[in-house]
Structure 1
């Protein structure tokens, strides 16, 4: 398979500067970590500079507290000709207990680009396990749903003009 690496995990310590007025890590900090992990994963898979094309379905399911160890895992679940769909899981734990709990989940689409910023081909990912086949099918289903949402948004924008 060459140099492609399908999964990357980044680790962060939730710091006081990451906290909102409610005392929890704010969504912006989490979204930054998600973007960094998506980039690291897509660059490792493609061996190319990548840009974020879409981030969606971000679900904040549990808060992250100051002092928590945060793990952001990014995994390729679908490849197009130049795009990579990356599933992201954010987990946090108290360093004294080390019991990870899911805090956030989403899908990010990254596109590999050349020196002129034009999309460039990426290696194909072919699922081998049953779980990976289900992840790929889910990515395709979400892609079709996003197309429908995009069409509806276009109609909405025209209506507002």
Structure 2
């Protein structure tokens, strides 16, 4: 049922296949986990198939080690007509310790698509229920405006497309 799941938590152990040559989970694996948790949260809220539109402000703050208990938390912080903005944080902790550390954080935007045509479809509106949620919604709106400005800047400096494929 759409509109019933504003947050998702994934928990699992970091495995040897997740790490780079330095023995720490590589960024690509953390990004995969972020995308999976974000997708589950977006689909749970919208009740529709969703696609990732953007990932903003991704920060790799602390390493994740083999055997760490990893928690990926995705929560809804803003909705548009067909879009959902999610705050996604990745935490880790050594199973022998109680201190959980923030390892990675970002804001993702997903768009819900309808089944027959794959076109954007409306999502249930989300209303913040706490002061913290209101502040996160303001943050999401600021990031959206910054993203639009960055897109305008990139478009202004993009080289013209060539149509001659033999060039």
In structure 1, the gaps of 5 or more residues are none
Q: When the two structures are aligned, how many residues end up with a matched partner?
A: 161
Q: Is the 8 A contact 2:56 2:143 kept in 1?
A: no
Which aligned runs of 4 or more in structure 1 are off by greater than 4 angstroms? none
In structure 2, the gaps of 5 or more residues are 163-167
Looking at structure 2, the residues matched to 47 and 97 of structure 1 have their Cα atoms a distance apart, in angstroms, of 38
| TM-score, normalising length: structure 1 | 0.95
Give the Å deviation of 1:159. 7.5
Q: Is the 8 A contact 1:4 1:47 kept in 2?
A: no
| TM-score, normalising length: structure 2 | 0.91
Residue 165 of structure 2 corresponds to none
Instruction: Rate the CA distance shift 1:49–1:159 in 2: closer, same or farther, 3 A.
Output: closer
Q: Over alpha carbons, which structure has the higher Rg?
A: 2
Residue 119 of structure 1 corresponds to 120
Alignment of 1:95-134 (within 5 A): 95-115=95-115, 116-134=117-135
Instruction: Rate the CA distance shift 1:21–1:160 in 2: closer, same or farther, 3 A.
Output: farther
Q: 3-state SS of the aligned residue for 1:90? A: strand
Looking at structure 1, the residues matched to 132 and 111 of structure 2 have their Cα atoms a distance apart, in angstroms, of 24
Give the Å deviation of 1:128. 2.0
